[in-house]
Structure 1
Amino acid sequence: MPSITTVHESLPYIDADPTPAERAAAEALIAEERALVPDDPHHALLPPPPTTTRFLTPLLAAELSRLSTAAAEQATTDTDTTTPRKPLPKLSALDLTRYEAPTPPSPTALAALPRSEAAQQLQAALARAYTSHSYVASRRAHLALLDSYGKNAWLVGNEALEGEVRAVERELAETRRAIDEVTAQRREMQDGAGAELRGLEEAWRRGVGRVLETEAAAERVRREVLELRRRAAS
């Protein structure tokens, strides 16, 4: 993971606010520099985004594929005005067919079959009915347990979550307090050093002005020397 080493020097309590022209020029330079390097959608100090394969189970993938296929078919039929529009299928999160009793074979169909095959069909229907009964019985027992003990477990879980929320809120308040203290210290330091910085800036400007004046005077002297040499040679 790359580290961020850029440091932005800012003296908001000493420097004057930029003018609209200066701000526009700075934004133009920033846009020009950003055009050279593509933007990274993820911050360098943040962990990589989670992959979808971790949460996308095969059953969920099959259900999403079914819905996307139905949506594509509906988009195709929308162009045909003669065909009535079909509603999109809903997510089959609850399969109600598992709670329905299986339909046994009809006596007429069984009479037309050999005795062994009819017995196999009846045995298969009985096995499916037993499986459905066992599933419904386990669900009833589960619901009964939830009715008896689920409320207390839910309240205990809520209390634990409330404790975590209170801890996070305390940490947030402490962080904000630390930020306020750092901001106050920063302002105090900049206010204390403001006069010295302004004096140094003014001295630097005077020094630069004197250097320019010295260079201009040296250029004049050089031209005068060249002119005197030209006259002496003539």
Structure 2
Amino acid sequence: MPLIDASHDSLPCRFFFIALLELYELLGSITNFIKDVDPEPTPQQRAAIASLITASLAPEHLTTLHPLLPALPPSTLTPLLEQEIARHASNQPLTGGIDTSRYEALDAPASTNPTDYHSTLQKAYTSSTYLHTRNQNLALLEQFGKNAWLVGNAQLEDILRDVERELVDTRQQTEEVNKMRKAGQEGVRGEMEGLENAWKKGVRGVVETEIAAEGLRLEILRQRREGVGR
């Protein structure tokens, strides 16, 4: 592929830049013309326009929807969500929920009563035991959790392979049953066709017999009528 040795001072580039400058000047002149025809409104004119727009609006336009707008669908929120939305709209603090005071450090009671100190000490022992047990569980999880997770995944993979193997066996059995069914149908096709043809012939014979009997009955009736007429 040949290299491009032409510089920006080449003749096509000069024509391009000249055309670009002429276009820029043309756009500037059009902008100035538009400003001369329709100048920028003054602040007084803007205020007058805003007052006219406000006067043309209904007093309840900020609280009432336009008649052409469809009605809002009924709310499907639960009472708990509606309560939370109302709390957030009224800027009320969050109340209830999980009590986090059990995870906070206990302060010494204000009184010097030994009973209060004993109760606080019992709560501190309970909290310490809980945190110690939780720390042990987290340590065990950090030490053995990964291996337990891998073992669980391996067991799930074994179960998946067993299920896939059963699926393959079931499909093979289904195919074998279909082959046996098709082979059985092919084996008795001649017999079935013969029986069907015999049945058709039998039905045809019955119909022909009924037609002949009906014709004979009509012939007998005709002869009787002729005999009576004589």
Which category of TM-score, normalised to the shorter sequence, fits these structures? 0.5 to 0.7
Quote the Cα distance in structure 2 between the aligned partners of 1:194 and 1:85. Answer: 83
Deviation at 1:96, TM superposition (A): 7.5
Quote the Cα distance in structure 1 between the aligned partners of 2:202 and 2:137. Answer: 87
Query: Which amino acid in 1 is paired with 2:226?
Result: R
Equivalent residue of 1:147, what SS? helix
Give the alignment partner of residue 89 of structure 2, picking from 78, 84, 88.
Answer: 84
Encode CA deviations 1:22-41: one digit per residue, 9 max, x unaligned: xxxxxxxxxxxxxxxxxxxx
Residue matched to 1:132: 127
Distance 1:197 1:185, change over 3 A: same
Residue matched to 2:197: 202
Distance 1:185 1:155, change over 3 A: same
CA contact (8 A) 2:109 2:120 kept: no
1:183 is aligned to 2:190: no
Residue matched to 2:107: 104
1:223 is aligned to 2:218: yes
Q: Which runs of 5+ in 1 are unaligned?
A: 1-69
Deviation at 1:233, TM superposition (A): 3.5
Distance 1:96 1:201, change over 3 A: farther
Deviation at 1:97, TM superposition (A): 2.6
Give the alignment partner of residue 162 of structure 1, picking from 157, 163, 167.
Answer: 157
Distance 1:73 1:154, change over 3 A: closer
Q: What is the alpha-carbon root mean square deviation over aligned residues?
A: 3.4
Equivalent residue of 2:188, what SS? helix
Residue matched to 1:232: 227
CA contact (8 A) 2:102 2:127 kept: yes
Distance 1:162 1:96, change over 3 A: farther
CA contact (8 A) 1:99 1:132 kept: yes
Quote the Cα distance in structure 2 between the aligned partners of 1:161 and 1:106. Answer: 54
Query: Which amino acid in 2 is paired with 1:155?
Result: L
Residue matched to 2:141: 146
- Percent sequence identity is 38
Deviation at 1:164, TM superposition (A): 2.3
Residue matched to 1:7: none
Encode CA deviations 1:97-124: one digit per residue, 9 max, x unaligned: 37622543663xx3xxxx54xx433332
Query: Which amino acid in 2 is paired with 1:227?
Result: R
Distance 1:73 1:97, change over 3 A: closer
Residue matched to 2:166: 171
* TM-score, normalisation: structure 2: 0.53
CA contact (8 A) 1:101 1:129 kept: no
Quote the Cα distance in structure 2 between the aligned partners of 1:123 and 1:233. Answer: 133
Query: Which amino acid in 1 is paired with 2:128?
Result: H
CA contact (8 A) 2:108 2:117 kept: yes
Larger CA Rg, structure 1 vs 2: 2
Quote the Cα distance in structure 1 between the aligned partners of 2:214 and 2:124. Answer: 110
1:71 is aligned to 2:66: no
CA contact (8 A) 2:109 2:116 kept: no
* TM-score, normalisation: structure 1: 0.52
Q: Which runs of 5+ in 2 are unaligned?
A: 1-76
